[in-house]
Structure 1
Amino acid sequence: MDIQKLETFTQLAHHLNYSKVAEETYTTQGNISKHILALEKELGVQLFNRSKRQIILTEAGHELLPHAQTIVQQVAIMREKATEISHKNQQFLTIYTIPTLINYPALEKIADFRRENPAVLLQLKETENQSLSSVDFLDENSLFFTRLFQLPEHSFEYKVVDEDRFVAVLPKTHPLADEKQLALEMLQKEAFLLLGQETGLLTPLHQLCQQAGFVPENNYGGSRIDLILNMVASDLGISLLMEKTIKDKLPENVTYTPVTPNKTSQLCFVRTKGAHSTINDDFWRSVTN
């Protein structure tokens, strides 16, 4: 017996209006009529008395309606349970990542894992860099790819996949552009174009500059590295950026130079300590330090 015809029967018994049922089920009145006629033929009884002005349940329709409603309700419960089981069995992993993921080997590791596990629902969600103490989105099914200047506290575990360092980004016409390495104190009078606080890079940069005896005045404060590079190319200032995020993106008239003092950042996959989903553990094992 076709469950769709039973659903049509219960809906028509409720509304007693072909047009209303057709509207609710996104079909035509003709299809509703066909469902009812087919069901009546299968059951061998007439379910509705029809006239030009109204439609009403027959005595047989009244007697059979509760049984149809029970079947429809049980099928709905079964479908809901099946969906719940399907979601429970679905293997999925969410990786939260900073926007500069593409510059590091982490992207290749994620792609390799995806190729080897095509059935896994793998979601990448971009988020800004932030201190682990403020992270509230990690659970048994998720990881965080992020940049750290200090390795995680005891409640986290991590795998380092790369390292990076600060460099000074200058127009090639700048008097210091040919230096092999720059002491930060040599830049204290420069106009700086620095990334904003949300990138996690501003605080360590301020700390380095303070070590060198000055506080840089930031004339940018956003999160777009490409915009900073173009502003440097237009001679609007200089910048301090992570080397691997810019080395293949430099405009023709822009160069970069290592600075001292400096801070090395670790690019890590991070997750909370404790129990994790099977697929989370599989990914974790696939990442080599």
Structure 2
Amino acid sequence: METRRLAVFVDLAETLNYSRSAERLFLSQSTISKDIMFLEKTWRVKLFIRAHRQVKLTRAGQLILPKVKRVLKREADLNQAITGRFWQQERPLVIKGLPSLPQYQAFQIITGFTKQYPDIKLCFSEAGVDQLAHALDQKNVDVVFTRIFDQPASAYDTLVNEADQLVVLVPKSNPLAHRAYLTLDMLESESILLQSDTVSKNSPLFAALRDLKLQPRVTYNGQRIELILAMLNQGAGISVVMNRSFDLTGFDNIQVVPLVPKISSRLAFMKRRDNPAAVVDLFWKYATDETRRLR
């Protein structure tokens, strides 16, 4: 017997509506009726009662339904095991992450995974926070490494690695470099160099500037932190960046000044809970164990 017919029975038992089940299963209403009639004839039992435009599950249907669900679950588990094994051998693990990934523990975790499992193909690409927020929805990305400021969607598993906070980078020739701390209103007249993620709509900095009704002069808005550091080192402007996202080696003319009040973020791996690939489960377990070890 085709398990497709069993799936039709389970769906109709949920909807109690032939038209709705036909829409959900992308079948015609007549096909739904034929499948139910086939099951009833094969099993010699009445599954549904149709009367006065209403559909009701019979007592026999109620008793059979849990058993049918178990059959479908066993089939799904088998398909997942087969598919997962095939993906682990043939399909790459697709990860998207922040351009500043090398500055965080996540970089050590990813490189450690590739060394421990050299036969697994890894496909990595960079993206900004706004893009990463929707990357998993496309289902062509397995894992993202991103910066989160609030509670992630319930459809995702989240593994937090580290915390970070915004600081101000100031050329040492600028009087602001000698301050113990800086506030956003002190930066209003400055020429500011920003990474795109810093002022994305997902960033609390965006909301903070809006609430203070500040419109700082942004003279650079891009992804390249190295370009920002080079400009700052030459005395051009200031920048607001996450404290762990840069390396000042070779940039001796830049001072790091705390930003008050503190604006924090968390760095995390995220994946969809409904991703069945075994290679994703393998990476997730490795990343979880390494995160605990590195803390």
Shorter-normalised TM range: 0.5 to 0.7
Does 2:241 match 1:238?
Answer: no
Shift of 1:159: 0.5
5 Å-filtered alignment, 1:1-289, equals 89-90=89-90, 92-130=92-130, 134-135=134-135, 139=139, 142-196=142-196, 199=197, 201-203=199-201, 204=203, 205-249=205-249, 251-288=251-288, 289=291
User: Identical aligned pairs, as a percentage?
Assistant: 28
Judging changes above 3 Å, is the alpha-carbon distance between structure 1 residues 114 and 189 closer, same or farther for their aligned structure 2 residues? same
Judging changes above 3 Å, is the alpha-carbon distance between structure 1 residues 200 and 154 closer, same or farther for their aligned structure 2 residues? farther
Q: Choose 262-271 or 212-221, whichever is displaced more.
A: 212-221
Aligned residues: 203
- Aligned counterparts of 1:252 and 1:133: Cα–Cα separation in 2: 35
- Aligned counterparts of 1:285 and 1:219: Cα–Cα separation in 2: 43
Judging changes above 3 Å, is the alpha-carbon distance between structure 1 residues 88 and 226 closer, same or farther for their aligned structure 2 residues? closer
- Aligned counterparts of 2:139 and 2:93: Cα–Cα separation in 1: 10
Matched AA of 2:139: D
Q: Choose 131-140 or 88-97, whichever is displaced more.
A: 131-140
Which has the greater radius of gyration?
1
- Aligned counterparts of 2:155 and 2:259: Cα–Cα separation in 1: 33
Matched AA of 1:260: V
Compute the TM-score of the two structures, normalised by the length of structure 1: 0.63
Please, what is the CA RMSD of the aligned residues?
A: 2.5
Choose between structure 1 and 2: higher helix proportion: 2
- Aligned counterparts of 2:171 and 2:245: Cα–Cα separation in 1: 17
Judging changes above 3 Å, is the alpha-carbon distance between structure 1 residues 132 and 252 closer, same or farther for their aligned structure 2 residues? closer
- Determine helix, strand or coil for the equivalent of 1:260: coil
Shift of 1:182: 1.4
Q: Which structure 1 segments of 5+ residues have no match? A: 1-84
Contact kept in structure 1, 2:136 and 2:144, CA below 8 Å: no
Contact kept in structure 1, 2:183 and 2:261, CA below 8 Å: yes
Matched AA of 1:235: G
- Determine helix, strand or coil for the equivalent of 1:269: strand
Shift of 1:112: 1.3
Compute the TM-score of the two structures, normalised by the length of structure 2: 0.62
- Determine helix, strand or coil for the equivalent of 2:282: helix
Judging changes above 3 Å, is the alpha-carbon distance between structure 1 residues 145 and 173 closer, same or farther for their aligned structure 2 residues? same
What per-residue deviation string (whole Å, max 9, x for no partner) do you get for residues 142-163 of structure 1?
Answer: 1111112123111211101112
Shift of 1:131: 5.4
Structure-1 residue corresponding to 2:61 = none
Q: Which structure 2 segments of 5+ residues have no match? A: 1-84
Judging changes above 3 Å, is the alpha-carbon distance between structure 1 residues 117 and 165 closer, same or farther for their aligned structure 2 residues? same
Judging changes above 3 Å, is the alpha-carbon distance between structure 1 residues 132 and 238 closer, same or farther for their aligned structure 2 residues? closer
Contact kept in structure 2, 1:91 and 1:119, CA below 8 Å: no
Shift of 1:268: 1.0
